[in-house]
Chain A
């Protein structure tokens, strides 16, 4: 197991190097001079001095290759992502401050997705080709088509018109008031989890249908085991392994979704930080968020792979 984890961590290195290159090149190799854009959009006054200062702050006065190594070296050896151009605060500190908020939202959405998706998927599979199956499947496709930002907008607008109620838009930290914080996060988490739960439901259904046809399920039923026990203990446990993989695959979608919902519900997480940085063209923050999100997704996928061993005794790490 230990050797496996070490090998997996080593295999991450090329992926992470590529990821850092993508982040680095995306922001630097694009047509149009970043400096001009920044100077014009922030009304600094494009005098010679501020231009030189900005170039030095961004490290743009050096050749591309040395820029990359300086940037990557600072991350690896100092854990530094540079400083925000406008606030002059450490990007890493800013991100570490916002990360738990986005993490909480993502975790709650994941919880919603699993708690809704798995039971409905099992129901749909057990009642295959009945009206119930048809209705739940149609709802799942509808949930995938409903844009989160529209549902979010409707939740902001209509309850306020009908009942004069609108969701809280002043963020309450978890440490300050856990209950009110959870209540505040519940609506965005439900909306974020909606599409994900549809994906979970569809996969659970497909896998359950496949597992239910296996010989060991027939054996369990034939020896007189209750249907409920057979479904939960024998079928579901085997059907859930691909669902765990799905969590890893959907992690980027979930993180992407938080950006929009954080904007609608004014939750000061990573997404809002990114959008604020984009409107100010604060490139160190943009690259920092970009990189941290990518690395987080890679690590989530590693955890997902390692969790197979707990779920499936057949999996042995070599």
Chain B
């Protein structure tokens, strides 16, 4: 209540962004593990964005003299069977993971919002039919849908992003729908309805802002899920095709047979995936506890 009174009295003092900064402060104070995850996520994002400057070599810079060199001062993480620097490849891999993770998770969130809000708000027959479709969709394992569709459309960055976005979007719509079901019974929604507000306006102005907490949490956890799914797909040779340095792809294909000679090839990409997904998960958990206590224990 106090917070509400403050904003009403002095609305102009609320600087844009101050909410985010105080939120990060709360994260560091109340959730140290979540804050640790947040820091790693920021580092990962930084590596992804600035991979072109950070990487000492190109991701596909072949150097036959330096084949299968163990980690050294020149090559921090060693080199692969074509003499390509593993550190550079892992950094460019971060770039691909950032691009795929963020864009697929964003698409998934938009799809979840569209289905969840409309289905939850309208209810009735539309909701029933939509939910039977979501039921059917969710009874297929993610990876199997991905394999089947990629086998038809062919691998590539675009298809992988669109597919992962649709896949997680349809599944995640359940969570948004659940939140909408409770929000739509609030007095302000009934008030808007009785003043004759149009449906898009009610959805956009009244429902959406009030389901933002689960939306943010959903987005965060989806980034991790997308990165894991993408690397699994790349491992099966169905992700972004080589020579693109995807982390999953580096663990599969021709590199596999060289791992017995050069075990460092098996370590770096796997560690990258594990650390990033771990960080996103602990950050997502902390975010959920802070933003939306109702979702605690879900997932």
Give the interface of A toward B (CB within 8 A).
14-16, 18-19, 21-22, 26-27, 30-32, 34, 37, 138, 141-142, 144-150, 153-154, 157-158, 160-161, 199, 202-203, 206-207, 252-253, 255-257, 259-260, 263, 274-275, 278, 281, 286, 289-290, 293-295, 297-298, 301
Residue of A nearest to B136 (CB): A18
Query: Contact between A19 and B139 (Cβ–Cβ < 8 Å)?
Result: yes
CA distance A298 to B260 in the complex (A): 42
Residue of B nearest to A137 (CB): B33
Query: Contact between B141 and A275 (Cβ–Cβ < 8 Å)?
Result: no
Residue of B nearest to A149 (CB): B235
Known A-B contacts: A252-B140, A260-B235. Give 14 more (CB < 8 A).
Answer: A15-B132, A19-B136, A22-B136, A27-B148, A31-B153, A144-B281, A149-B252, A206-B297, A252-B139, A256-B143, A257-B143, A259-B236, A294-B136, A301-B139
Question: How far is the CB of A102 from the nearest CB of chain B, in Å?
Answer: 11
Residue of A nearest to B229 (CB): A256
CA distance A21 to B269 in the complex (A): 38
CA distance A30 to B274 in the complex (A): 34
Query: Contact between B259 and A157 (Cβ–Cβ < 8 Å)?
Result: yes
Query: Contact between B144 and A256 (Cβ–Cβ < 8 Å)?
Result: yes
Query: Contact between A252 and B274 (Cβ–Cβ < 8 Å)?
Result: no
Most buried by A among B141, B154, B270, B281: B141
Interface secondary structure of B, over-half rule: helix
Residue from the list A154, A253, A259 in contact with B270, Cβ < 8 A: A154
Residue from the list A14, A22, A138 in contact with B137, Cβ < 8 A: A22
Question: How far is the CB of A28 from the nearest CB of chain B, in Å?
Answer: 9
Contacts of A199 in B (CB 8 A): 299
Query: Contact between B132 and A253 (Cβ–Cβ < 8 Å)?
Result: no
Query: Contact between A293 and B141 (Cβ–Cβ < 8 Å)?
Result: yes
Residue of B nearest to A287 (CB): B148
CA distance A146 to B232 in the complex (A): 11
Residue of B nearest to A18 (CB): B136
Q: How many residues of B contact A (CB 8 A)?
A: 49
- 1/0 contact string of B126-167 vs chain A (CB within 8 Å): 000000110111111111110111011110000000000000
Residue of A nearest to B128 (CB): A14
Q: Which of B221-240 contact A (CB under 8 A)?
A: 224, 228, 231-232, 235-236, 238
CA distance A290 to B150 in the complex (A): 13
Residue from the list A157, A256, A260 in contact with B260, Cβ < 8 A: A157
Query: Contact between B140 and A290 (Cβ–Cβ < 8 Å)?
Result: yes
A255-B141, A286-B151, A297-B139 as given contacts; A275 in contact with B281, CB under 8 Å? no
Residue from the list A144, A207, A263 in contact with B236, Cβ < 8 A: A263
CA distance A165 to B252 in the complex (A): 21
Give the interface of B toward A (CB within 8 A).
33, 132-133, 135-145, 147-149, 151-154, 224, 228, 231-232, 235-236, 238, 248, 251-252, 256, 259-260, 263, 266, 269-270, 273-275, 277-278, 281-282, 285, 296-297, 299
A15-B132, A32-B154, A275-B147 as given contacts; A153 in contact with B296, CB under 8 Å? no
Residue of A nearest to B129 (CB): A14
CA distance A157 to B266 in the complex (A): 8
Contacts of A278 in B (CB 8 A): 147-148, 151, 238
Residue from the list A150, A207, A298 in contact with B274, Cβ < 8 A: A150
CA distance A149 to B145 in the complex (A): 18
Residue from the list B137, B145, B266 in contact with A153, Cβ < 8 A: B266
- Show 25 A/B contacts (Cβ-Cβ < 8 Å), sorted by A: A18-B137, A26-B152, A30-B152, A30-B153, A31-B153, A141-B278, A142-B274, A144-B278, A145-B277, A145-B281, A147-B228, A149-B235, A150-B270, A153-B266, A157-B266, A160-B260, A203-B297, A206-B297, A252-B138, A252-B139, A260-B236, A274-B144, A278-B148, A286-B151, A290-B145
6 pairs of A and B residues whose beta carbons are closest in the complex: A256-B141, A18-B136, A256-B143, A150-B270, A145-B278, A206-B297
CA distance A18 to B140 in the complex (A): 12
Query: Contact between A146 and B147 (Cβ–Cβ < 8 Å)?
Result: no
CA distance A147 to B273 in the complex (A): 8
Contacts of A154 in B (CB 8 A): 266, 270
Question: How far is the CB of A18 from the nearest CB of chain B, in Å?
Answer: 3
Question: How far is the CB of B209 from the nearest CB of chain A, in Å?
Answer: 29
CA distance A203 to B140 in the complex (A): 23
Residue from the list B142, B252, B260, B278 in contact with A252, Cβ < 8 A: B142
Query: Contact between B270 and A255 (Cβ–Cβ < 8 Å)?
Result: no
Query: Contact between B274 and A145 (Cβ–Cβ < 8 Å)?
Result: yes
Most buried by B among A146, A150, A161, A294: A150
Query: Contact between B236 and A275 (Cβ–Cβ < 8 Å)?
Result: yes
Residue from the list A37, A157, A290, A295 in contact with B148, Cβ < 8 A: A290
